[in-house]
Every structure is written in structure tokens, then in C-alpha cells.
Amino acid sequence: MEFGPDIVREDDFLTPEECAQISQQVLKLEPHWEARLGPYHFATLGCAAYLDVDENHYQEKSTSLNPLLRQTFGHVYERVRLYFTQLLQETAYYDEAYSYPGFHLFQFEGHESASDHPAERSHFDYQFAKIFPDFASTYLAPPLTFTLPIQEPSCGSSLEMWDLRPEGHARINYEHKEYARTHPSRTVHYAVGRIFTHDGLNLHAMGRIAPGTVGRRITLQGHAYKTQRGWLLYW
């Protein structure tokens, strides 16, 4: 399976019942959530390279959270592993030195305003470069990002994607938010229980939150990075 500009692969993955059960498990683990900077009561369950690596906490947090995540969501991780093994036609695996995929958590309370602009949170998934600092010499394939919606708020959930790649990013002096504000985007509509994978190298963002939205948005998030051994799954 090739990934590249603008390609989002999507497949059915979990049933609504399985998603409801995972939501319950995530809610039970609230004492382990970590509040993060950002609107909508943003929190994570798990250690995320893009949030934790600069603080030098990645290793320590992964080591402390992986056993809990594995114990609770081991069946989901195994399904994810088998899915990517089949999709990529090579073994996918976890490594305890890296964080297991984790959860993005948002809570909307009905006072979301028309001022929600995905452009303001647009980004590229460059974090693989921090997790694998020798990537330039060991690079085998583009990295991958996946999102598996587990629970949606009242407005549904989506991914916003712009036609801008890293080459263009340099050309616009890394002013990607201005680019996102002034250029059209496309919306990839999510569905609970479906898995969405792309290379993270198109400018993208969590999709728009409509005014008046209520409820939780819970997604399982992770990445795949190709190594000599296969595809390493991590977050």
C-alpha cells in the first residue's frame, strides 16, 4: 500500500459495541489522563511523542504508562498490529522503549463558538524526526499516522487536510497556519470504529467543531515507522 500526497486509507475496524466498551475503559482510567494545553478540556491517555519528547519525558512516561495501556487495551493493540501487518505486507510490532498508541480526549459543553478554526491547529507530523533522530540515514519509507475514532461528539468528527507538503512548507517559510487560513482544505469525515491512515505529511488538523457541540471526542492515535525489523507502532 502506497501512502503519499493527500492519501487517506480508511477501513472498518471495530464495532460500535467494541468502541462503547473501549470508551468505558478510557473513562475508568481518568486518574491517568493528563490535561494538556488547548481548548475543549484537551487531555491524553498515554505518552505522545509530539507532546512529550521535547520535555524529555518520553522514555520515562512510556515506561510508566505502557503496562497499564497494554493490560487494558492489549486486545485492541493486537488488532492494530495485525491490521498494519496485513496492510503493509510486513510485520508490524511494538517495542517497550516506545509509547503504545494512546488516546486524544476532548469534552465539549455546548458553548463552542463559531470561532473554531482548524487552520489554527494545522500541523505536520514531524515528530518521527525527534523519536528517530538518525532518520535521515536510516529512512526506509514515509512514516504513517493513524486515527481510530472511538467516540464522537454531537457534530461528528473529521480530519481537515490541505494541499501542502513538507517541500512547500519550506517554500512558504514555515508559515503553515497562514497558508491554512488562506487556502482551501478538504474534509475527511470520520466514523466511529473506522481506522484512518495517512503519512502525516500533508498539512492537517482535527476537523471543525460546530457551534453548540456537546459530548466527548475520543480517538486512538498512533504512528508506524519502518525499521529493519518491520513497522514499529508507537505514539
| Residues at the contact surface with ligand AKG, assessed by CB under 6 A | 104, 125, 145, 147, 159, 204-206, 219, 221
Residue 232 C-beta: closest distance to ligand AKG, Å: 17
Q: Which is nearer to ligand AKG, 38 or 211 (CB)?
A: 38
Residue 228 C-beta: closest distance to ligand AKG, Å: 26
Q: Which is nearer to ligand AKG, 76 or 91 (CB)?
A: 76
214 by DSSP, 3-state: which?
strand
DSSP for 185-205? EEEEE--TTEEEEE-S-S-EE
| End-to-end CA, the chain | 21
Instruction: Tell me the residue length of the chain.
Output: 235
Which helix (H) or strand (E) covers residue 136, if one does? helix 135-138
Q: How far apart are CA 109 and CA 104, in angstroms?
A: 17
Residue 204 C-beta: closest distance to ligand AKG, Å: 5
Q: Which is nearer to ligand AKG, 61 or 204 (CB)?
A: 204
Residue 2 C-beta: closest distance to ligand AKG, Å: 20
